[in-house]
Structure 1
Amino acid sequence: MSPLRAVLILSLLLGIQPVTTDLYLPALPAIATAFTVSVGETQTTLSALLLAFGASQLIWGAVSDRFGRRPVLLVGLGGYVLAAVACALAPSMPVLILARILQGIALGASVMCARAIVRDLYEPVAGARTLSQALSGLGVLACLSAPLGALIVEGFGWRAALGTTAVFGAATWWAVWRGFDESLTERDPLALAPRRLLSTWRGILAHPVFWRFSLLGAASFAGLFVLLAASSFIFMQVLGLSRPAYGLLLLLNSLAYITGTLLCRRLLRRRSVETTVAIAGGVSLTGGLGLAALGELGVTSVAGLMVPICLYAVAHGLNQPCSQSGAVAPFPRSAGVASALSGFVMMLAAFAAGGWLATQMDGSVLPLTRGMAVCSMLVATAAWLRLPATRAPTGPLRGVPADHSPSTTEESP
Structure 2
Amino acid sequence: MLLAFTAGFAMSQAFRTLAAIVAPPLQQSLGLTPGQLGVFAGVFHLAFGSLQIVTGVGIDIWGARRTMLAVFPLAVVGALVAAGANGYGQLVLGQALIGVGCAPAFVVCTVFIARRFPAERFAAVSGAVLGLGSVGMLLTGTPVAWLVAGTSWRAAYGVLAAASALAWLAVWRVVREDPPAADQRPAVLPALRGYVDLLRLPHTWGILALALVTYASFLTLRGLWLGPLLVERHTFTLVSAGHVALAVSLIAMVGPPIFGRLDPGPLRRRRWIVGYTMLTAGLFMVLAASRRPVPDVALVLAITAVTGYIVLQYADLRSAYPTEMAGRAMALFTMAMFLGVGLVQWLTGLAASAAQAVGWEPYGLVFTATALLLAGGTAVFVRVPVARA
TM-score, normalisation: structure 1: 0.84
Aligned twin of 1:159: 154
Could you say what secondary structure the match of 2:323 adopts? coil
Aligned twin of 1:72: 67
C-alpha deviation, 1:70, in angstroms? 0.7
- Bigger Cα displacement from structure 2, 197-206 vs 331-340: 331-340
C-alpha deviation, 1:333, in angstroms? 2.8
CA distance change for structure 1 residues 248 and 376 in 2, over 3 Å: closer, same or farther? farther
Q: Find out whether 1:348 has 2:339 as its counterpart.
A: yes
Q: 1:279 aligns with which of 269, 272, 276?
A: 272
C-alpha deviation, 1:308, in angstroms? 3.1
Q: Find out whether 1:252 has 2:250 as its counterpart.
A: no
C-alpha deviation, 1:382, in angstroms? 6.3
Q: Which one has a larger percent helix, Structure 1 or Structure 2?
A: 2
Q: Find out whether 1:373 has 2:367 as its counterpart.
A: no
Superposed CA RMSD? 2.5
User: Contact 1:280–1:316 at 8 Å: present in 2 too?
Assistant: no
Q: 2:387 aligns with which of 387, 390, 402?
A: 390
Report the Cα distance in structure 2 between the residues aligned to 1:372 and 1:254, rounded to whole angstroms: 20
- Bigger Cα displacement from structure 2, 177-186 vs 125-134: 177-186
User: Contact 1:87–1:100 at 8 Å: present in 2 too?
Assistant: yes
Q: Find out whether 1:326 has 2:320 as its counterpart.
A: no
Q: Given residue 193 of structure 2, which amino acid in structure 1 is its aligned partner?
A: S
- Bigger Cα displacement from structure 2, 136-145 vs 63-72: 136-145
Tell me the alpha carbon deviations over residues 364-411 of structure 1, each in whole angstroms, 9 at most, x when there is no partner.
Answer: 32134213322442465467x27445212xxxxxxxxxxxxxxxxxxx
Report the Cα distance in structure 2 between the residues aligned to 1:251 and 1:276, rounded to whole angstroms: 30
C-alpha deviation, 1:324, in angstroms? 2.7
Q: Find out whether 1:206 has 2:200 as its counterpart.
A: yes
Report the Cα distance in structure 1 between the residues aligned to 2:179 and 2:90, rounded to whole angstroms: 37
CA distance change for structure 1 residues 389 and 285 in 2, over 3 Å: closer, same or farther? closer
C-alpha deviation, 1:315, in angstroms? 2.6
Of all paired residues, the percent bearing the same amino acid is 19
CA distance change for structure 1 residues 213 and 38 in 2, over 3 Å: closer, same or farther? same
Tell me the alpha carbon deviations over residues 300-359 of structure 1, each in whole angstroms, 9 at most, x when there is no partner.
Answer: 11221233333322232122x222343355243343322221122112222221221121
Q: Given residue 135 of structure 1, which amino acid in structure 2 is its aligned partner?
A: L
CA distance change for structure 1 residues 36 and 251 in 2, over 3 Å: closer, same or farther? same
Q: 2:217 aligns with which of 220, 223, 226?
A: 223
TM-score, normalisation: structure 2: 0.89
Tell me the alpha carbon deviations over residues 176-233 of structure 1, each in whole angstroms, 9 at most, x when there is no partner.
Answer: 1121122765677653432x13420111122345444443333211211331222222
Aligned twin of 1:30: 25
- Bigger Cα displacement from structure 2, 185-194 vs 217-226: 185-194
Report the Cα distance in structure 1 between the residues aligned to 2:210 and 2:182, rounded to whole angstroms: 30
Q: How is 1:106-121 mapped onto 2 (pairs within 5 angstroms)?
A: 106-121=101-116
Q: 2:304 aligns with which of 288, 302, 313?
A: 313
Aligned twin of 1:395: none
User: Contact 2:12–2:136 at 8 Å: present in 1 too?
Assistant: no
User: Contact 1:63–1:191 at 8 Å: present in 2 too?
Assistant: no
Q: 2:282 aligns with which of 282, 285, 289?
A: 289
Could you say what secondary structure the match of 1:333 adopts? helix
Q: Given residue 229 of structure 2, which amino acid in structure 1 is its aligned partner?
A: I
Aligned twin of 1:398: none
Report the Cα distance in structure 2 between the residues aligned to 1:332 and 1:186, rounded to whole angstroms: 18
Report the Cα distance in structure 2 between the residues aligned to 1:141 and 1:326, rounded to whole angstroms: 25
Any unmatched runs of 5+ in structure 1? 393-413
CA distance change for structure 1 residues 127 and 214 in 2, over 3 Å: closer, same or farther? farther
C-alpha deviation, 1:52, in angstroms? 0.6
- Bigger Cα displacement from structure 2, 180-189 vs 26-35: 180-189
Report the Cα distance in structure 1 between the residues aligned to 2:194 and 2:295, rounded to whole angstroms: 47
Aligned residues between the structures: 380
Aligned twin of 1:15: 10
CA distance change for structure 1 residues 272 and 123 in 2, over 3 Å: closer, same or farther? same
CA distance change for structure 1 residues 101 and 257 in 2, over 3 Å: closer, same or farther? same
Q: 2:235 aligns with which of 211, 226, 240?
A: 240
